[in-house]
């Protein structure tokens, strides 16, 4: 009896692990915010539900809040708002930047306390992890 039960348990565990991986990799994730760059919209320790489908299908819009890998440190994630899409012209002071194809312009809501595209420049869409719900 036990000999038949062990393979079923192992098979169930492997199936559960595969489903969990696919949900995480292709559908979404849960992330915790840190830092003041998105205040007053988001605060440190706010929890966000992240969906990845919009990024994969390139269905992002201005105003979407996204999680991206940091261009200077890919081990770190940043949470910012999309301010510009490919082809848009962004004016920051006296500088005008045209966003190239495959890139977005990200800025924090707390402009005085945010390191964002004003420092990094346009962000490659390949660095985007997902859109916050």
Active site amino acids: 37, 80
| Spatial CB neighbours of 48, under 8 Å, sequence gap ≥ 6 | 30, 31, 32, 33, 42, 65, 67, 79, 132, 133
CA separation for the pair 22, 52 (Å, rounded): 11
Please provide residue 120's backbone torsions phi and psi, each rounded to the nearest 5 degrees.
-75, -30
């Amino acid at each position: 009896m036990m000999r038949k039960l062990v393979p079923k348990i192992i098979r169930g565990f492997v199936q559960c692990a595969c489903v969990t991986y696919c949900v995480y990799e292709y559908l979404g994730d849960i992330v915790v915010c840190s830092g003041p760059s998105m205040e007053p919209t988001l605060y440190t320790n706010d929890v966000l539900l992240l969906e990845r489908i919009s990024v994969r299908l390139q269905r992002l819009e201005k105003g979407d809040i996204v999680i991206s890998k940091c261009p200077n440190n890919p081990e770190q994630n940043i949470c910012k708002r999309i301010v510009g899409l490919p082809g848009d012209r962004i004016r920051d002071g006296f500088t005008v930047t045209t966003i190239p194809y495959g890139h977005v312009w990200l800025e924090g809501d707390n402009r005085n306390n945010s390191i964002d595209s004003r420092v990094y420049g346009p962000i490659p869409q390949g660095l985007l992890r997902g859109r916050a719900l």
